[in-house]
Structure 1
Amino acid sequence: MTQPPEPTTTTAAPGSRPSGPSAPAPAHPPLAEPRPLAERRVWPRAFHDRLTSPLPGLKALARFAREGAVRPAPGGLADVPRLPYAPGPLPRADSRTVAVTWAGHASWVLRIGGLTVLTDPVWSRRILGTPARLTPVGVAWEDLPRVDAVVISHNHYDHLDAPTLRRLPRDTPLFVPAGLALWFHRRRFTRVTELDWWEAAELDGVRFDFVPAHHWSKRTLTDTCRSLWGGWVLTAPDGRRVHFAGDTGYGHWFTRIGRRYPGIDLTLLPIGAYDPRWWLADVHCDPEEAVRAAQDLGARHMAPMHWGTFVLSAEPVLEPLTRVRAAWERTGLPRENLWDLPVGGSRVLE
């Protein structure tokens, strides 16, 4: 199977100007027509051909066994009490509001176009293979408004959490990568829309586009890359856009996403779980790469995530925050456009 081609069918992006005979050709590829919600589809057996880099081989695994560190040194954990945690009430929201609240890790409460959307919701205290959370969840489950939709980036345990998803009504609209719907159908979810890269669906006027990422998928010993991975671009009826990167390394996809979806107002980008670099560079951005990715996307604002919640790698727990702030300052971009929120913090897009 080859990677999906650039779409040839077009639909006007919400908020875009209509074109006419004298209008110049668009500077970005056209968007795909939205697909039907919850349609049943047939996919390839695996998506190994979508990998940006090969998965680690025997030599890399042997090196990791010899010298790889998956936990910070004791000094790197000393700052756990200083991790930013400031839960507050969710912002008031109506159909014109675009607001985000960081629940921790890659979990956001996104208010857009009158919808409440959860990204990679993980409300559990523990996930498989890691110690308990360093910071509590930033939003109590009982404080959530009705969840109108959920987007999932891929099937790793720190992004696809079965105990959290069991709390949702089984008719909650779910937007998931290609090949992942069966996992939800087995758990009796009835409104599951799975998409390939560059495909889209629409719910109550909000457009959900699935976009590439530099990552992979695996949940059991036998399902490596059996489902796809990626990020999401959500577009409100008024044209405002939020990009949720999911889990990703740095690479060429960010520039392509920025061309396809011009005018991204906010990108939610991972900045943690990057050390040792020789082991994780292909699949996890470091803070400097995340800032570069925000620039490649052409995003007006960046909100860091995927740090300060679970111990997944060897960098000191506060290092991602200090490095992303320094990297942002070096760009000369307005400081207020870096939304370095505490867990539980919120911002509203003006």
Structure 2
Amino acid sequence: MNRRKLIRRVAAGGIGLAIAPSVYFYNKAENYMPTATRYTSNPELKTLLSSKEWPGTPLDQKGLFVNEEYVFWPKFADVLKWQTEKNPYKEEKKNDTSRLEVIKHTSPDVLPDNSFTWLGHASFLMKLNGTKILIDPVLESPSVLMKRYTDLPFPAETLKGMDYILVSHDHRDHCDETSIKRLAGQNPGATWLCGLSLDLLLKKWTGSDRIQAAGWYQQYFLQTAGLSIYYLPSRHWARRGLTDTNTTLWGAFLIECNNKKIYFGGDSGYGKHVGIVRELFGEVDYYLAGIGAFAPRWFMGPSHMHPEEAVRASNDLQPKNLLPMHYGTFDLSDEPLLEPARIIRQLNENKQITSKLLLPAVGQVVPV
């Protein structure tokens, strides 16, 4: 059963199943509007900006995290509207069989140093000065509703010897319990880096004491010479269940090594936060930008960028290279799997992108 049919069946199903969720979501979501009332950070980590410039990561009147620039609260009514309205891509998507190319390797050990490799969706493996870094590693299908359409470039059991594992936020296509538990077993010495309050969940899953949770514009404390990692804002939200909306923080990462800067934008709608990265760090070498899960735009726009918006953000940032991600691996929205790549190629052909556009295959080595 596909995603739309399942949700429609739940919505139109037995009264006993329908009433309780409807009442819950109406009371808890439909009538709530967050407002930033106070600010927080991790006092053990360095903050890039002064207290006058940046009071801290905003919290709303219930102590939940809230976007700095665009306040957003997910509403169940919007989900129902999306799932019951007509999808203009329906026939195209039904007949579409195009998939991402995958370049296979025996293990990460064969990949060269000072490079990074796309593992599909928002997952990346980086090797910088001999240091191994994983970002948002999702190794399989995170749920029965989220089929994986691309293989990993190498067997999951070969992902060992990781020094740092970064988790941008708690959504299941970025923070998968099975994958994290597996990686924790295979990488007992890894340090985990995440946003505020997500460390509690990671601690439960990994059993590790090597977890750091940062607020926006904070720098992680690393014991690796020549490597710096920062946690930065994104325009998004967080939730894994019915009652934990925005209890953990979402964000982006800036990784700096050998005077090279890689900006992983995470899940994000368009906002001024991307351009600010250049003001703080100077020229960025690689901008890893999400371009998928954009349709319908009225629903996805607050938390995901359409390729046109990703280009706008990239032109604000002016990186040397723009590398799109967050498409082709999971079916999360209305558009076909590779529609985001088709659109951004066209934008590049129309000379609307000021940076060099990179569209690597899954498993393709990108030198740093």
Give TM-score, length-normalised by structure 2: 0.77
Structure 1 segment 193-342 matched on structure 2, within 5 A: 193-201=212-220, 202-205=222-225, 206-236=227-257, 238-331=258-351, 337-342=356-361
Structure 1 segment 77-96 matched on structure 2, within 5 A: 77-88=94-105, 92-94=111-113
Instruction: Flag the 1:51–1:224 CA change in 2: closer, same or farther, 3 A.
Output: farther
Residue identity in the other structure for 1:102: W
Tell me the SS of whatever aligns to 2:350: helix
Is structure 2 residue 191 aligned with structure 1 residue 176?
A: no
Structure 1 Cα separation of the partners of residues 138 and 132 of structure 2: 16
Aligned length: 311
Any conservation in 2 of the 1:51–1:215 contact (CA below 8 Å)? no
CA RMSD in angstroms, aligned pairs only: 2.7
Any conservation in 2 of the 1:157–1:219 contact (CA below 8 Å)? yes
Instruction: Flag the 1:52–1:87 CA change in 2: closer, same or farther, 3 A.
Output: farther
After the TM superposition, which of the residue ranges 207-216 and 129-138 deviates more from structure 2?
129-138
Tell me the SS of whatever aligns to 1:185: helix
Tell me the SS of whatever aligns to 1:219: coil
TM-superposed CA distance for 1:72, in Å, is: 5.4
Instruction: Flag the 1:3–1:51 CA change in 2: closer, same or farther, 3 A.
Output: farther
Pairing partner for 2:155 from 119, 140, 146:
140
Structure 2 Cα separation of the partners of residues 68 and 116 of structure 1: 44
Tell me the SS of whatever aligns to 1:181: helix
Structure 2 Cα separation of the partners of residues 246 and 49 of structure 1: 14
Residue identity in the other structure for 1:323: I
Q: What does residue 192 of structure 1 align with? A: 211
Structure 2 Cα separation of the partners of residues 7 and 175 of structure 1: 20
Residue identity in the other structure for 2:313: A
Residue identity in the other structure for 1:114: G
Q: What does residue 64 of structure 1 align with? A: 82
Instruction: Flag the 1:77–1:243 CA change in 2: closer, same or farther, 3 A.
Output: farther
Pairing partner for 2:71 from 53, 61, 81:
53
TM-superposed CA distance for 1:348, in Å, is: 0.6
After the TM superposition, which of the residue ranges 307-316 and 295-304 deviates more from structure 2?
295-304
Structure 1 Cα separation of the partners of residues 102 and 129 of structure 2: 28
Any conservation in 1 of the 2:136–2:168 contact (CA below 8 Å)? yes
Any conservation in 1 of the 2:330–2:337 contact (CA below 8 Å)? no
Residue identity in the other structure for 1:190: D
Residue identity in the other structure for 1:294: S
Q: What does residue 122 of structure 1 align with? A: 138
Any conservation in 2 of the 1:153–1:246 contact (CA below 8 Å)? yes
Q: What does residue 37 of structure 1 align with? A: none
Q: What does residue 177 of structure 2 align with? A: 162
Residue identity in the other structure for 1:84: E
Any conservation in 1 of the 2:99–2:149 contact (CA below 8 Å)? no
How far does the alpha carbon of each residue in 1:5-38 deviate from its partner, in whole angstroms, 9 at most, with x for none?
A: 97129xxxxxxxxxxxxxxxxxxx99x9xxxxxx
Any conservation in 2 of the 1:130–1:312 contact (CA below 8 Å)? no
Instruction: Flag the 1:271–1:174 CA change in 2: closer, same or farther, 3 A.
Output: same
Tell me the SS of whatever aligns to 1:347: strand
TM-superposed CA distance for 1:241, in Å, is: 0.6
After the TM superposition, which of the residue ranges 192-201 and 165-174 deviates more from structure 2?
165-174
Q: What does residue 7 of structure 1 align with? A: 49
TM-superposed CA distance for 1:61, in Å, is: 4.4
Tell me the SS of whatever aligns to 1:167: helix
Structure 2 Cα separation of the partners of residues 217 and 207 of structure 1: 25
